[in-house]
Amino acid sequence: MVVSRTREPGLYADGGGLYLQVTHADARSWIFRFMLNGRARSMGLGSLHTLTLAEARNKATECRKLCLDGIDPIEARQRVRSAAQLDAAKAMTFDACAEAYIEAHKKGWRNAKHGDQWRNTLATYASPVFGPLPVQSVDTGLVMRVIEPIWGDKTETATRVRGRIESVLDWAATRGYRQGENPARWRGHLQNLLPKRSKVQRVEHHAALPFVKIGEFVASLRQQNGTSPLALEFTILTAARTGEVIGATWDEMDLAERAWTVPAERMKGCREHRVPLCDRSVEILEHLRAHGDRYVFPGGKRGKALSNMAMLELLKRMGRPDLTTHGFRSTFRDWAAETTRFPSEVVEMALAHIIENKVEAAYRRGDLFQKRRELMDAWAAFVSRAGPAP
C-alpha cells in the first residue's frame, strides 16, 4: 500500500489491527481495531498528516502490548489525559475558577450587581481560606472552615456562600480542573455536619406598616417633592418590588390599557408579569412622562434609573427609618387577607409569587388580570382614604 497515494474512501489494512481510514481525499487517519473481553473497539491514532506509517505502526504495537496484558488502550489513554489535566489544574486556583464561572454566567443574570455580589461574598469568605489554593485541593474541611463560623449568626449569607462555592466547584469539575465529589454539596453531605437552617436562622421580616395606617402614611408621602416620593407611591399602589419599579421603562407601560408589563428578565421569578394600573398610578405616570427620559423614574443623571436606595433614604427623611420599601408588600397582603374577600390566589398573583404546587400551576394558566384589577383598584381606594392626591 502506497499511503501517500491512497485517496479512495475506505479502510485499508496494514496488519496487526492497524488501518488507514480514508473518509475523502483530504481526510485520512490511522485507526487501531482490536477485540478485548469479547468487545470490538476502534481507537483513533492520529491523522496521516501527523503520523507517518512507521510512527502509526509503533503506536499500534504499543496498543497490542496493552491488549496482551488485558488493558484497554482507549481507557489507558484517557487515564493519561485525565492525569495531565489534573497536573495542569494545579495551577488553576479556586479564585481563578470563581472568576471564570462569573464571566461565563454573567450574561444570564438579571443585572450586573448579581456578579458583584458573587465576587464580594466569595472574596470575603472563601478566598481568605482557600482562594489561592489549587481548586483540586478544596475539600470538606476547607469548606467547613468557611461556612461553620457564620452558619449560626449569618445563616442567610452562609447559605449563599455555600451554594456559590458548590457551583464553582461543579464548574471546575466539568472543565476537568478537579475530580471527586463536591465537598460543598448540602444534600447527603454538609447536612450531616451542620444543623438545619431552620434550627439556627432567626426569621427576620421586612419592617412593614400596619395596613390601618397606610392612608395616613400615603397622605404624608404626597406632601414630599421629587421623583422618589412618586416612585414609592407607585410601588405601594402596584405592590411591586423595588427593582421592578426603578428599572421600569416607558416601553413597558400601556396607559391606554392601564397596564404595566414587566419582562421576564426583570422579574424575580423570571416570568413576564402584567400589572393593572389604578387611576392614581396612571396619574403619576402621566406626570412623569413629560421628563422624556428612558426610565419612568429617572435618577439624578439623564439616562440613569433611580437608585435602589432612593426610597429608603426618603423613608429616613420622613422620619420612618423603621420601615422598608419591601415591607409595603406585606402591608398590602395583610390588608387583602383581613379586610377583603378576594381569593388568596388573586392576591398571590398580584404579588407575582411563584406557585409552588406544580399541579395547581399547570391548571392555572391565566393571569387573573381582571380580578387583579378589581383588587388593585380596591387597594388604591383604601390607600387614598386619608387624603386626596395633591
Query: pTM surpassing 0.75?
Result: no
**Average pLDDT over all residues of the chain:** 87
**Lowest-confidence segment of 18-22, 112-116, 233-237, 314-318 by average pLDDT:** 112-116
* Rounded alpha-carbon distances, angstroms, from residue 272 to 156, 223, 252, 264: 27, 34, 11, 4
117 versus 233: the higher-pLDDT residue is 233
387 versus 258: the higher-pLDDT residue is 258
d(CA 101, CA 333): 38
Q: DSSP assignment, residue 322?
A: T
- What is the domain partition of the chain in residue ranges? 3-88, 94-200, 211-386
Torsion of CA 128, 131, 133, 138, to 10 degrees: 100
CATH of domain 3-88: 3.30.160.390
With a cut of 90, say whether residue 63 has pLDDT above it.
yes
Give every strand in the sheet of 27-36, ordered side by side: 10-15, 18-24, 27-36, 39-47
d(CA 42, CA 324): 66
Res 206: pLDDT: 55
Res 111: pLDDT: 67
- Do 18 and 29 form a contact (C-beta atoms < 8 A)? no
Question: Could you please report the per-residue DSSP string of 189-233?
Answer: TGGGTS--HHHHPPP-PPP---GGGHHHHHHHHTT--SHHHHHHH
- Domain 211-386, CATH among 3.40.50.150, 3.30.70.1560, 1.10.443.10, 2.40.50.140: 1.10.443.10
- What is 94-200's CATH topology? DNA polymerase; domain 1 (1.10.150)
Res 356: pLDDT: 53
Alpha carbons within 13 angstroms on the beta-carbon side of residue 315 total: 20
The amino acid that residue 327 corresponds to is G
> For residue 196, what pLDDT band results from cuts at 50, 70 and 90?
confident
385 versus 296: the higher-pLDDT residue is 296
Mean pLDDT of 115-144: 93
C-alpha cell at 134: 489549587
